[in-house]
Structure 1
């Protein structure tokens, strides 16, 4: 293999930071060095390469065409290096990338996340939203929280958080107007649907109602839009207990027919390698899930016919 012929790594890092941030003073702050050190490294790099990377007056430097080309390659390269380091490092502190659905983040995880930060102030949890199947080979997250509607990587350690239970929810004001006594009364109510769970209502009817009824209603692109519509009195949504606990406790939503199991679980899956940060987070998730109250049961008089 041919020997690599690269300029000083310090010079490349200094140039990339200055070019990416647009100012050498900002690069100096990011790298914890002086402005003069950044300038010297950039000048050294220009000398080695035999080109100008910046042009213009000192107080308004701008990248040359060569500088822009080099920046694009360096940024991509440093991103790959960082990803590789994160893939093998087992650090107690630092960033921890966590993937879960946006609704789960907003309705359950974020309201409780401050307790994890109190226990582990050195770990920065960075959330990203997705409900796609877990794929650690294509994504950088270290922990994924999903429903077991998808197959999970068999080699990845998983932690079951809680079983999902679902039920109809609506605002107290709308409930007072509709006078819902039996599940079949929902046939006269404005129903709310979501693109991400198109069969939620029919699945609930199969498990909880004694007879089917029409499911026409308004469809929302995202689950949290549908929940906000329910809070706003626009109709009756079908929702998991764990995602509406706080709304029910605060009186923003009511659940006239309680909740029944959906047959799926919420699980936390982490990369199949040792990671103290990921393990600490999954352990905390399990403890927090254990504190989550059990769902409101479906009233006996509403039980489906057997």
Structure 2
């Protein structure tokens, strides 16, 4: 298509051909009859041919207009169909972001329930710990791991965070930890973004300085995987190790828990209402979280 193609004028021309008058076309396009007439003259100048014979009450199409309309109608119909297809797709689309570890564990475990309940839902998931800028209209909603304090967003607590110490059954057998003091022989697996070991140790009467060794990881997933492979003890949320506990890949070493003051929160924009599909997803997500919390 040429860059100077007057698409607005073509839309006005199509409306006049459908309705037979500039006044009715103006009603259909929500503009004034004068604006329609101006666009028709613009199209005639661009094409270099007269499209209508103007009378007092109506516009009479010329032979050029009839021929031109028949040629462009299939393209206009195709544009309408493409618009409708895209709009239907957007109506069923939910764009969301959540932390990678949460996406790959708690959410992934429940995704089959979501897709079976809403088979037409089109989910676009970004697994990222970065904060979402809702002003960019890239996402409908997000799950954030934080303290829930953000006055610029609608914030709903899904799951409070309460961390415990986990390891593989083989590592527990090797460690032979009868009480928490025996942990001094263990390797601590530390996630730098969820650094709660010092607080947990202080809660049970130990200090980080008294530990023999430790390994540091940027991501929770990597630290949890190291624990599965008997590399040490991981301090993490039960929501991230549900499947590992059920399959006995990991076990909780001690009953002691630490409330971190954080949690997994559902956040949405205060300025932009959710689509019907996003509301469906939000309702399902909160129900799934409440069920999890009840089980816990």
Q: Under a length normalisation based on structure 1, what TM-score does the superposition of the two structures give?
A: 0.63
SS in 2 for 1:292: helix
Q: Is the 8 A contact 1:170 1:230 kept in 2?
A: yes
2:296 aligned with 1:278: no
Q: 1:223 aligns with which of 213, 220, 223?
A: 220
Q: Gapped runs of 5+ residues in structure 2?
A: 9-46, 48-82
1:210 aligns with 2:208: no
Deviation at 1:114, TM superposition (A): 1.3
**Structure 1 residues 8, 260: closer, same or farther in 2, change over 3 A?**
same
Q: CA RMSD in A?
A: 2.9
- Name the CA shift for 1:260/1:266 in 2 (closer, same or farther; >3 Å): same
Larger Rg: 2
| Other-structure match for 1:55 | none
Structure-2 separation of matches of 1:193 and 1:155 = 32
- Structure 1: state its 5+ residue gaps: 10-47, 49-81, 297-306
Change (3 A) 1:226 1:294: farther
2:198 equivalent to 1:175: no
**Deviation string, structure 1 residues 66-97 (Cα, Å, up to 9, x no partner):** xxxxxxxxxxxxxxxx9xxx9xx898842211
Q: Is the 8 A contact 1:91 1:277 kept in 2?
A: no
Once the two structures are TM-superposed, the CA of residue 143 in structure 1 deviates from its matched residue by: 1.0
Asked if 1:261 is matched to 2:259, the reply is yes
Take 2:286 and 2:137, find their aligned partners in 1: how far apart are those partners?
23
Q: Give the equivalent residue in structure 2 for 1:108.
A: 106
Deviations 1:235-280 (A, max 9, x none): 1111101111221111010112133321212111123322222221
TM-score of the two chains, using structure 2 as the length reference: 0.65
Which residues in structure 2 correspond to 1:141-156 (within 5 Å)? 141-149=139-147, 151-152=149-150, 154-156=151-153
How far did 1:191 drift?
A: 1.0
- Picking from 229, 246, 254, the partner of 1:249 is 246
Q: In structure 2, how many angstroms separate the alpha carbons of the residues matched to 1:182 and 1:7?
A: 80
* Alignment partners' CA distance in 2, 1:226 and 1:220: 6
Cα distance change of structure 1 residues 177 and 295 upon mapping to structure 2, 3 Å threshold:
farther
- 1:64-213 equivalent positions in 2, closer than 5 A: 93-138=91-136, 140-149=138-147, 151-152=149-150, 154-197=151-194, 199-206=195-202, 208-213=203-208
The corresponding residue for 2:232 is 235
Distance in 2 (CA, whole Å) between partners of 1:7 and 1:114 is 48
Equivalent residues, number: 214
Looking at structure 1, the residues matched to 199 and 88 of structure 2 have their Cα atoms a distance apart, in angstroms, of: 43
Displacement of 1:225: 0.8
Q: Relative to structure 1, is the Cα distance of residues 177 and 122 closer, same or farther in structure 2, using a 3 angstrom cutoff?
A: same
How many Å separate the matches in 2 of 1:210 and 1:6?
A: 76
Q: Which residue of 1 aligns with 2:40?
A: none
C-alpha contact 1:159 1:282 (8 A) present in aligned 2: no
Evaluate the alpha carbon distance shift between residue 107 and residue 225 of structure 1 in structure 2; reply closer, same or farther with a 3 A threshold: same
Could you tell me whether the CA contact under 8 Å between 1:167 and 1:238 is conserved in 2?
A: yes
Q: Who is 1:58 aligned against?
A: none
